[in-house]
Amino acid sequence: MTVFYDKDADLELIKRKKVAIIGYGSQGHAHANNLKESGVDVVVGLRTGSGSAAKAERAGLQVAPIEDAVAAADLVMLLTPDEHQVDVYQNQIEPNLPNGATVGFAHGFNIHYQLIEPRPDVNIVMIAPKGPGHLVRSTYESGRGVPSLIAVYQDAAGQAKDLSLAYAVAIGAGRAGVIETSFQAETETDLFGEQSVLCGGMMSLIQAGYETLVEAGYEPEMAYFECLHEVKLIVDLIYEGGIANMRYSISNTAEYGDITRGKRLVNEDTRAEMRNILEEIQSGSFAREFIAEHQSGSPMLKAGRRRAADSQIEQVGEKLRGMMPWIAADRVVDQSRN
C-alpha cells in the first residue's frame, strides 16, 4: 500500500481548474471552504431557493445555480446525499457537463452500484475523506487533516489520478495521508463499517447498555455517563494509540472485564450477522433497499429519527451536556454555519 502526502501532489494542477462543489452539507461546506483557502477557484452549485446559499455566501464563497456552476467547471464534485445524486446528475449535471470534464464523488455508492452511468468522455474519480465533513473542516482549520481515499473509475481525459491527489491535498488530506483504492472497495468497506461498527453497532450497543441499567433501577444520569459520555474518552485513547494504548490507560479491573466479557457480547452469532450484513452490501441488496426507502418517502428513516429525538437518553444527555458549557463552545457541528 502506497500512502501519498502533500509533497507527492502537484497542487498547481487543481489551482488551474475551476471547481464546482454541488451541495453545501457536511462534506460540501468542508470541501468548498478548504479548497478556497488552498487557493482553488471554487463555486458552490445549489438548487434555486436552497437554504444553504446564505451560509455559503457568508463564508465568502461564490454561489450559482447547479446548471451554471457545472457549465463553467473543469471539475464537478457531487456532494449531495447519495439518494439525490442520480436525479441531480441526470437532470442538472450531465446535460451541462463540458466534454473532458471531471466528475468527483466522496463515496462510490452510485457509481459502484451503476445507478449513475457516466458519459465515456469524462473522468470519474473519487476523493473520500475518512471522516465526517465537519471534521474535514475543523482539522483543516487547525492545521491538520483527515486521511482520504482516492480512486479512478474512468480516465477518459487523462491525469485523473494526479488531479484526484491534488484535490485531496487541497482539502487537507495530504497532511494525514492519501491512499489509492477502488470504487468497489471504498463503497463496500464504508457501508460495512457504518452499519456494523461505527453507527449501527455502536449506537445499538450504547442504547442497549443504557436501557439495561435504567431497567435495573439505576439513575438515568448514571447510565448516560457510563454507557454514552465515556465512549469519547475511550475512543480518544484508541484513536491516539490503538487498542493496546487504551488498555494501558484504563484500570486492571476494566481491562479484565474488557478481555473476559466483551467476547460474550460480540460472539459467533454477532460475527455471523456481520457476515450477513456484508453479503447484503456486496450483492447490492442494501443499495436497492435504501433507494426503495427513499422513493417511498423514507418512512423508516423518519420514524427512526422521531424515536431517537423522543428517547430518554437524548433528553437526559441534553441536560447533562448543559452542565459542561465547554462542549457547546468547542462544538464541531454548528447548524447555523455548516
Catalytic positions are 107
Those residues with Cβ within 8 angstroms of residue 70's Cβ, 6 or more apart along the chain or in another chain = 20, 22, 45, 76, 92, 93, 96, 97
User: Considering all CA atoms of the chain, what is the largest pairwise distance in Å, rounded to the nearest integer?
Assistant: 66
Which of 3, 5, 32, 4 lies closest to 175, judged by CA? Answer: 5
Q: Compute, in degrees rounded to 10, the torsion defined by CA atoms 80, 328, 195, 316.
A: -130
CA distances from residue 225 to 155, 216, 234, 317, 323 in whole angstroms, order as listed: 50, 16, 12, 9, 13
Contact 165, 2 (CB under 8 A): no
Answer yes or no: are the C-beta atoms of 159 and 165 closer than 8 Å. Answer: no
- Which three cell numbers, joined as nine digits, stand for 34? 478548504
The C-alpha atoms of residue 166 and residue 11 are separated, in whole angstroms, by 5
